[in-house]
A = this chain, B = another copy of it.
Amino acid sequence: MYREKIKILDCSIRDGGLINNHDFDHRFVRAVFKAVSEAGIDYMEIGYKNSKRLFSPENYGLWKFCDDEDILKVTEGIESKTKISVMVDVDRVNIEDVKPKDQSPVDMIRVACYVKDVDKAISLANHFADKGYETTVNLMAISKILETDLNECFQQLEKECKAEVIYLVDSNGALYQETTEYLVKKAKSMIKSKELGIHAHNNQQLAFGNTIEGIIHGVNYLDCTIFGLGRAAGNCPTELLLGFLKNPKFDIRPVLDVISNEFIPLREKIEWGYIIPYAITGILDEHPRAAMALRNSNKKENYREFYESLIGSDEVE
């Protein structure tokens, strides 16, 4: 029997944009929005809301900024119940760029932060909540936080934050089922007035498994991307999640079509998925940036040397 509270958020364009500087054209994003809408997916995250004073539009694609007119170009005319989400990073958004909800095509704003920046995230989330948006706080790199800091963070979110959902984000792709269970149970015991979400990365082929583990322990907001598209190893595949969930409102077929027609050709152009250097950073609980640099070098298949460079050959203390 399905759990009606479960909501899925496809962030193919937002997380995939981290590979190509958010440079998807309108046609591609429209195809994804159509597929996601027909599949019955609850939310689609379309990009970041970054300040154009900090990032020049000359250097990035449209979905680094998510102007309202671009969102309308890819959504108008398509029958859809899918809500639109954008992500903001602390210190990178100009809150003046965000109109009140009733003047915007955006439904939800998700604030991403490291645990150390949770005060900033709460301030932003509360601001956007006051403007009428659904809001979430997405806690990144959740696999590497000291217990005392995590406790303080969860307490603060419960007491001070207006966001409806708190996401645990496994940025490094380092969690296993047992560590996922541990973190979800801890969050659930401390954050009682909100829903929990999970955003898993696939470095160790555990993004889908850890998302299921989240479901088992009461997580109701699930991030996924079509064909796992996303930075480095990518994410929990939307098609697998749709195959697993039992809510009859979901239909896997439009997602299969958009993979055939758009994502198979896309993967000829940009790289993501299960690739050994990303597995190594996941195993070692490190950010994938060193592995991303390796994949852009002429040593891309030198796995042992890369592994040795991360574990270090010098004495340490």
Contact = CB atoms under 8 A, between A and B. Distances in A.
A302 B260 contact: yes
Interface stretch (A17-25, A107-115, A238-246): A238-246
A86 to B, nearest CB: 28
A303 B256 contact: yes
Number of copies of this chain that the complex holds: 2
A202 B204 contact: no
A72 interface: no
A37 B303 CA distance: 19
Contacts of A280: 243, 256
* Residue picked from A208, A256, A307, most chain B C-beta under 10 Å: A256
A205 B204 contact: no
A203 to B, nearest CB: 9
A117 interface: no
Contacts of A303: 256-257, 259-260
Interface string A240-278: 100110000000110011011000100000000110100
Interface in A267-317: 273-274, 276, 279-280, 282-283, 301-304, 307-308
Contacts of A308: 253
A304 B204 contact: no
B208 A244 contact: no
Interface stretch (A125-133, A135-143, A162-170, A209-217): A209-217
8 contacts: A204-B243, A205-B237, A205-B240, A209-B209, A253-B304, A253-B307, A257-B304, A274-B274
